[in-house]
Amino acid sequence: MTEQTESIEWPSGRPRLTHMGINVIDIDRMVEFYTKVLGLSVSDFGFSDRLQSRLAFLTSDPSAHHQVVMVDTRPAGSESTINQISFSVPSLDDLRAANRRLIDAGIETNPINHGNAWSVYFPDPEGNLLEIYLDAPFYVPQPQGEPLDLSLGDSVDSEEMRLVYEYSIEEDLPVLLHCGHGGVYRSGDQVQLCDPAQWTRRTCSRSAQTSSMSRPSSRIV
């Protein structure tokens, strides 16, 4: 790409990712999983003369015709080439509910804390890795991932704050990341609690300075 190309401005905004297509082996089985387990709806289903394949269009947004397109062109027995497909939820209660729903359906889940998001990973029937996640209001340098205990509550008690503060001193972290309904901020010998909105402003403004920061507390829920 040339400098001239990079300098061209987008008249109304940059391209925005809105949907994706995946090749599938058994389209009926995959549609059943994505609708019954994940709650998506089929907006269209048909045959493409151009592709000589069946296509399913699915969405979880009534204003979007489709967010996922399935095409039955994947050879039987082939391995998935998808790194992950991610779906967001609005709250921790919804993340817990999704995890329980998957377990009740006999699907093994892997809850992970990324610090800046809480995630539940699991496979679909054809081995594609899926993620249901909730964004956290904190900045945490990535990659970062530790086991997430979804049985813990949302609040953070004073003992937890003390352990977090001691960890920040031990690791000499100017900003220590913790979640729940607030966070801990430390600069030198000063420590204070702040709400998520304040935390987001603080950490984002410091993100360039904290790229080499060590991992946060192992308990973030």
pLDDT of res. 208: 37
Is the CB of residue 125 less than 8 Å from the CB of residue 80? Answer: no
Residues facing 129 on adjacent strands: 123
Q: Dihedral through CA 135, CA 138, CA 143, CA 148, nearest 10?
A: -60
pLDDT of res. 57: 98
Q: How far apart are the C-alpha atoms of 88 and 94, rounded to whole Å?
A: 10
Could you give the strand order of the β-sheet that contains 183-187, starting from the edge strand earlier in sequence?
175-176, 183-187, 190-194
Q: Encoding tokens for residue 52?
A: 């000589």
Which strand (E) or helix (H) includes residue 196?
helix 196-205
pLDDT of res. 142: 80
CA contacts within 13 A on the Cβ side of 61: 11
pLDDT of res. 107: 97
Q: How far apart are the C-alpha atoms of 17 and 20, rounded to whole Å?
A: 8
**Alpha-carbon radius of gyration of the chain:** 21
pLDDT of res. 70: 98
Residue type, 103: I
pTM for the complete prediction? 0.71
pLDDT of res. 136: 79
pLDDT of res. 54: 98
Q: Encoding tokens for residue 125?
A: 């029937």
Domains of the chain from N-terminus onward: 18-75 (3.10.180.10), 84-152 (3.10.180.10), 158-209 (no CATH)
pLDDT in tens, the chain (221 residues): 566 667 778 888 889 999 999 999 999 999 999 999 999 999 999 999 999 999 999 999 999 999 999 999 999 999 999 999 999 999 888 999 999 999 999 999 999 988 788 999 999 999 999 999 998 776 677 888 888 888 876 554 445 445 545 555 555 544 434 444 344 444 445 444 455 444 444 444 444 344 333 333 333 33
pLDDT of res. 28: 98
Positions of E strands within the chain = 20-23, 41-48, 53-59, 68-71, 85-88, 110-113, 117-123, 129-135, 146-147, 175-176, 183-187, 190-194
pLDDT of res. 205: 40
pLDDT of res. 179: 40
